[in-house]
């Protein structure tokens, strides 16, 4: 009886039967004594025999702080819609005394780990969506556009590039007039997504508030212009008078609902989701 109880308790943690638990938590990287994990949320009633698209979330926090819980609501929503969702932890300044460059390395490591283990997670390695907010949006875009800043232990034969991007007020300009330049310096030329858009960039949808103090609307409009110039799809949804972080459900349920609905339609248009019944 005791063994049966312990087995059921273990399953409740692993499969997320108990509220508040991820359905699975996996170690994707270890640097010295620092262990980095991914929380995974699976669709409840999906056909296990068919690989599913994946959606990978990176939290915001200026590469300084933050937690994976920021995108928990979005992960639960899209897992219920049929995606396998991944909430990625990565090193930050407050917790690990690291720089933004290590953040990019971790984001790339996570993407490679997920693609390498596609069969294990039941996902389609050619349908991986990168997503994130603020600095996490930068990381998602960086995995798609930035060639430098790879962990020396990574298998570079495995692509870290997502097949689509869903970005929430992302940091996309790290140049002299952009965000984080005081920490990035002249390395922005190889670090800033805006300065590294190239042919083959994945289809992208972006959400931004017009009163965002960190990300000027004009910068995002220019990003969209350059994306379209090189032949890549880029949708930009502007929210009048909305500030940074406007998309979080704790900030505005209305904006949260609006952004996930537009993202849902975007992913439907790519064939990653079926229309809602």
**Residue 104: per-residue pLDDT:** 98
**Residues of the domain holding 166:** 29-269
User: Quick check: is 16 in a domain?
Assistant: no
Question: Which pair of structure tokens corresponds to residue 98?
Answer: 């690291």
User: Quick check: is 193 in a domain?
Assistant: yes
User: Quick check: is 9 in a domain?
Assistant: no
Please identify every stretch of the chain with a pLDDT value under 50, giving residue numbers as ranges: 1-21
Q: What is the CATH number of the domain that holds 170?
A: 3.40.50.1820
Residues 218-227 pLDDT 10s: 999 999 999 9
User: Quick check: is 152 in a domain?
Assistant: yes
**What's the first-to-final CA gap in the chain, in angstroms?**
43
Residues 11-40 pLDDT 10s: 333 444 334 446 899 999 999 999 999 999
How many domains in the chain? Answer: 1
- Beta strands 84-88 and 204-209 are unpaired
User: Quick check: is 44 in a domain?
Assistant: yes
What is the separation of C-alpha 133 from the centre of its chain, rounded to a whole number of angstroms?
8
User: Quick check: is 21 in a domain?
Assistant: no
Q: Which long-range contacts (CB under 8 A, 24 or more apart) does 178-185 make?
A: 178/219, 179/214, 179/215, 180/62, 180/63, 180/100, 180/135, 183/63, 183/99, 183/100, 184/100
**Residue 231: per-residue pLDDT:** 98
Token pair 């059921």 is found at 8
User: Quick check: is 179 in a domain?
Assistant: yes
Backbone φ and ψ for 139, nearest 5 degrees, come out as -65, -40
Contact predicate 29/21, CB 8 Å: no
User: Quick check: is 75 in a domain?
Assistant: yes
What is the C-alpha separation between 168 and 190, in angstroms, rounded? 22
């Amino acid at each position: 009886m005791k063994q049966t109880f312990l087995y059921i308790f273990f399953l409740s943690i692993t499969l997320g039967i108990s509220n508040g638990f991820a359905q699975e938590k996996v170690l994707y990287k270890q640097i010295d004594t620092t262990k980095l994990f991914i929380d995974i949320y699976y669709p409840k009633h999906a056909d296990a025999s068919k690989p599913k698209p994946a959606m990978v979330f990176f939290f915001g926090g200026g590469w300084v702080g933050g937690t994976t819980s920021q995108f928990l609501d979005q992960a639960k929503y899209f897992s219920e819609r049929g995606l396998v969702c991944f909430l990625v932890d990565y090193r930050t300044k407050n917790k690990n005394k690291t720089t933004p460059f290590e953040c990019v390395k971790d984001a790339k490591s996570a993407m490679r780990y997920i693609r390498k283990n596609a069969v294990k997670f039941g996902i389609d390695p050619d349908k991986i969506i990168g997503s994130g907010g603020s600095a996490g949006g930068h990381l998602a875009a960086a995995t798609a556009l930035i060639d430098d800043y790879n962990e020396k232990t990574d298998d570079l034969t495995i692509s870290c590039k997502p097949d689509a991007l869903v970005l929430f007020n992302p940091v996309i300009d790290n140049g002299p007039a952009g965000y984080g330049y005081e920490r990035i310096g002249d390395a922005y030329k190889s670090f800033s997504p805006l300065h590294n858009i190239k042919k083959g960039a994945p289809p992208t949808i972006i959400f931004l508030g017009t009163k965002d103090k960190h990300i000027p609307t004009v910068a995002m409009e220019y990003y969209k212009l350059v994306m379209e110039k090189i032949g890549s799809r880029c949708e930009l949804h502007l929210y009048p008078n909305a500030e940074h972080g406007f998309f979080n459900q704790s900030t505005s349920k209305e904006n949260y609902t609006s952004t996930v609905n537009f993202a849902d339609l975007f992913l439907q248009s790519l064939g990653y989701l079926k229309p809602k019944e």
